[in-house]
Structure 1
Amino acid sequence: MARSALNDTTRPDETNANRAGLGIAIVLWVGLAVSLLGDNFYRVGLTWDVTASGGAARATALGAAMAIPMAVLGLFAGTLVDRWNHPATMIVTDLLRAAVVGVFGLLYIMSSQPAFPLVLVFAALLAGSGACFTPAFQAWLPDLFPDRERLIRFDALFLTTISGIGVVGPASAGLLYPVLGLRGLLLFDAVTFGVSAVAIWYVVRHHAKPAAALTSAPEPRPPRPGLVSGTKEGLGYIFGNPVLRAQFTVFPVMECAAYALMFVLPLYLIETGQAESWLFGALLAANAAGRALGAWLLVRSPLRHRRGVVLAGNFLTQGLALALFCALHDPVLGLVAFALMGLPAGASQVALSSWVQTDVDRKIRGRVFGTLTTFVLWFMPFGPVIFGWVSTSFGPRWAVAIIAATFLGGGALIAASRAVRSLR
């Protein structure tokens, strides 16, 4: 095979790059898909278990514990990612998360109802240990696929795959929870983190420049900024760009409400007489199915060249769909509403991610991704607290209705930005 490649006079470098790109995509597909399946098992299982057994107060505490580490550490994650090697960071992160969630599972083996403060500690540890993974992955992806068109297609493939697993994961977790219990779901998640680490290691070993992948940067870089100065650079870039500024001055509030919905939804189902783990998982799965379809439509339709329209209509559409869910107390129509919420969310995720990857300088890309992630996550701990209080004081139905109104208001502000609407 090596000899034929050397004797080929028709651009052998391009041929080898095509083959390497396909192999990398397949291996990353497997690693990320398996890991995301485990993440869904953990998220659905733990949220339902804590909410069903402890009510709104414990759901509020769990939501805050899972969000605070990401909100705090995410502020510096992008700068750290720019200082460290990207694939090495991802591998170490996966191994650390495998250890944390493995011990978490053993805790539930020793006791079916561990002390709740201990549960909060492990939930916070698992959230904090993964703060650098997404910025590292997003910053590494353009190095694996330097061609712009391939980058957009592979990015859409990964995001669609994640959303696809998001369909299978919550639905399966809701069905398996009564059978395996939370302990089984946690141990499965620990194994999947190990699979992801092995997949990333394989990609590094078989990349075009494996020797440099873990030991050095592919090209000379300017002096590394400090944590504070690097974070300031990311903030300065975001607020100096009209497209990013218009969205991420609104996104924190939107994500605060969206994150709270994960913990309010079980309370809503219990109040309306639909206290079934399978329905909770099915609603999340329907939303993920909508996300997958939305990402696919963005790549395969003229919307690919009208990304601004997608970003402008994202939260407006989600707000209308959630309002429909509140008005119609029917499981089937609820699944349809959650799927409709996912459509614009998936399309806008690919639109924004591809735009940042292709239009932001790679030297600052990690800082921008990390800072964007921080802005998305910063207000998230307040979501369960605020809407948990609304659920306790006025009922879960009011909490869901206010979340829908929040989407509509924030979506209107984003849609009012000409810079966002005109984005191609």
Structure 2
Amino acid sequence: MGFSKSRPLFSSAARRLSASPASYLLCRSWQHQPKFCPASTLAASEPVGASLSAANISIERTAAPKEKLPPTKLVFGHTFTDHMVQIPWNDTDGWLTPKILPYQNLSLDPATCVFHYAFECFEGMKAYKDSNGSIRLFRPDKNMDRMSKTAARICLPTFDHDALIKIIAELVKLDGDWIPSERGYSLYLRPTLIGTQASLGVAPPKSALLYVIMSPVGPYYPTGFKAVKLEATDYAIRAWPKGVGDRKLGANYAPGILPQRMAASRGFQQNLWLFGDEGYITEVGTMNAFFVFQLPDGKLELATAPLDGTILEGVTRDSILALARERFDKDKWVISERKFTIQEVADHAKAGTLVEAFGSGTAAVVSPIKEISWRGQPIAVPLQAGKETGMVAEQMAQWIAEIQYGEVEHPWSVLLN
């Protein structure tokens, strides 16, 4: 397939952990015409009190540690560790003291704005144990950047990225014995930011709470890859241009459940989200989508939808693109971020030039696809002989896991001291 394993990794890439506000916020010009303006122009003139700091973390250890399940009994997102982070914010004082507390319920007024107007965003990231028992985070700077952009888009406070990574690192180290040592297991981290002002009225919240919870998880495919069947979906739309499909908002997820249940009732595991009369491919379920095509000149193309505002800026997506550009033979591969349609996929399948397809995301890393139903007709997606995956998906899963578990030293893998 033209992989070039001899090429070096990104040995000189430095992680940028400083705060970065959202790229754009909806605002109005002096002519009262809606437009998008750089968030930094607002942040520079609006005092927000104290910045988020990791220097004064308060830690309260639990007096009643939970019993840990055997790794083989773990169900994704059902078991949670002993501790959590809570960091309040208000528009007068800014960020208050970060606290690591025993895992506990939140107490919120029924009028709290998160319940009524969806002032909520979150991230999904993981911590891993390497063969030496050391703990590693995978590209946390990317998660912090995306979360800060999402927060700014819905008028929640942004934060210093490096400070939040340090706070999360203290939580992970405190509950580090919750991370199973077996290869394939990890600790799923869920940083969440909600508006907490108790009032009925659509306005920027004057108070907020950033909290982090953690859940030990097993391999997404414990017995090996299981390729999925998709239903190409155009009767419902996941996201649209100039909307918030590129932000990790809780409000983006609930509307996708009904179409997924409808697809499941017809025997499909997920939706392949299409957009517009042209049927542009955007995402698969809650994952980014990749397709491999053979081109007329004999080259292979790894294609995924562009970051045009309708798809999430996936950390795994970015990792796959970066590794492909670094390690694939440039004489044999074209790496594309472009618009393409379900009709193009169907044409490639008919011509025998559809090579493979897969989704990418934090939970599964890659999810191979074996069939797409479009207008009631199946589009068969090739797999490797005797396997439930294509070659590119398999290779990417291996390369990324080697970095995540510290088997290959790489700046994406952040070692916690």
Larger fraction in helix: 1
Normalising by structure 1, we get a TM-score of 0.25
TM-score by length of 2: 0.26
